[in-house]
Amino acid sequence: MFMFCLIFKASIRDYILLVVLLLIEYAFKIGFNYINSISYTISDKFYKNMFKILSIINFEFDFLFVYIFFDSLFEINIKYFIGILFTLLIISIFIFSYLISLNLKYEILTFRIANESDRESILEIYIEGSNALKEDGVDQWQDEYVPSFKDIDEHLGIDLYVLEYHKRVVSTVCLVEGIDEDYENIKGKWNTSIPYISIHKVATSNTFKKQYFAKKMMCYVENFALRKKCDLRIDTHKDNIKMKNFIISCGYKYAGEVVLQGKLERLAYDKKVV
């Protein structure tokens, strides 16, 4: 668009407006790219609301660039309208910046190691997950294998993590470092090598379903593994279609079949991180 304005000899006023717009858009895109890079650390609802405002701002930018182009061709005199639109653009950017500064600290997700105060919340999420699997006809987390306080206490303060939103536990996961004996005898072949982190007991509260918290948590898991310089491995029941689709959507590749605790057949997946 800038080259078009040069070719068709835009007015000095248009040049000034163009330069100002380019500077504003450049600064705006730097901020946007940063927010986009940390999108997994904020709630999906907040992220989508930001995009709605961004679409309006992008439209205003595009319209002003189009005006400069056509004004250089036809000398259209709509400066008052452009003045109003430019003012709206500045106001939109100000509102966008204000909303971010006002709400971002409340919409940031926290991924941390679980503590004693999380036990009840984690168990509730486990029970919800067990009931959901039962409804889907999946023989996983059923009967004596339903997660309990004993399972939580075994990993509490060691390798049990939670994702927190508005000071509420929304998702949980267990990240076990080191050799997993059950993963040593795989019917197939791992795509990754040692060292690795085994992912277990991925679950999200029913209250926060369809808000992509589980996927955001998996981004945290990848960053965690990257810092540890480890790859990732995970397994699920062959009938757990939802979990299989979720694992694949997170970029994991099928590796083969493993047997947990000597009798629980599972499908195994892994992902190269380092």
Q: Which residue has the higher pLDDT, 137 or 49?
A: 137
Of these ranges, 45-59, 97-111, 157-171, the one predicted with the greatest mean pLDDT is 157-171
Q: Are residues 180 and 224 in the same domain?
A: yes
- Number of domains, the chain: 2
Q: Are residues 98 and 16 in the same domain?
A: yes
Q: Which of 83, 107, 131 is the last residue of a domain?
A: 107
In this predicted model, what pLDDT tens digit does every residue of 193-215 receive, in sequence order? Answer: 889 999 999 999 999 988 899 99
Q: Are residues 94 and 162 in the same domain?
A: no
CATH number at residue 184: 3.40.630.30
Mean pLDDT (the chain) is 85
- What is the percentage of the chain residues whose pLDDT exceeds 70? 85
Q: Are residues 146 and 15 in the same domain?
A: no
* pLDDT score for 15: 66
Q: Are residues 77 and 135 in the same domain?
A: no
> In the predicted model, what is the mean pLDDT of residues 235-264?
96
- What is the percentage of the chain residues whose pLDDT exceeds 90? 56
Q: Quick one: pLDDT band at residue 92, thresholds 50, 70, 90?
A: confident
Q: Are residues 213 and 118 in the same domain?
A: yes
Q: Are residues 83 and 197 in the same domain?
A: no
Domain that holds residue 145: 111-271
Q: Are residues 249 and 160 in the same domain?
A: yes
Q: Are residues 124 and 209 in the same domain?
A: yes
Q: Are residues 86 and 122 in the same domain?
A: no
Q: Are residues 100 and 134 in the same domain?
A: no
Q: What is the 3-state secondary structure (H, E, C) of the chain?
A: CHHHHHHCCCCHHHHHHHHHHHHHHHHHHHHHHHHHHCHHHECHHHHHHHHHHHHHHHHHHHHHHHHHHHHHHHCCCCHHHHHHHHHHHHHHHHHHHHHHHHHHHHHECEEEECCHHHHHHHHHHHHHHHHHHHHCCCCCCCHHHCCCHHHHHHHCCCCEEEEEECCEEEEEEEEEECCCHHHHCCEECCCCCCCEEEEEEEEECHHHCCCCHHHHHHHHHHHHHHHHCCEEEEEECCCCHHHHHHHHHCCCEEEEEEEECCCEEEEEEEECCC
Q: Quick one: pLDDT band at residue 3, thresholds 50, 70, 90?
A: very low
* pLDDT score for 247: 98
In this predicted model, what pLDDT tens digit does every residue of 148-205 receive, in sequence order? Answer: 999 999 999 999 999 999 899 999 999 999 999 999 999 999 999 889 999 999 999 9
Of these ranges, 56-70, 74-88, 146-160, the one predicted with the greatest mean pLDDT is 146-160
Q: Which residue has the higher pLDDT, 177 or 41?
A: 177
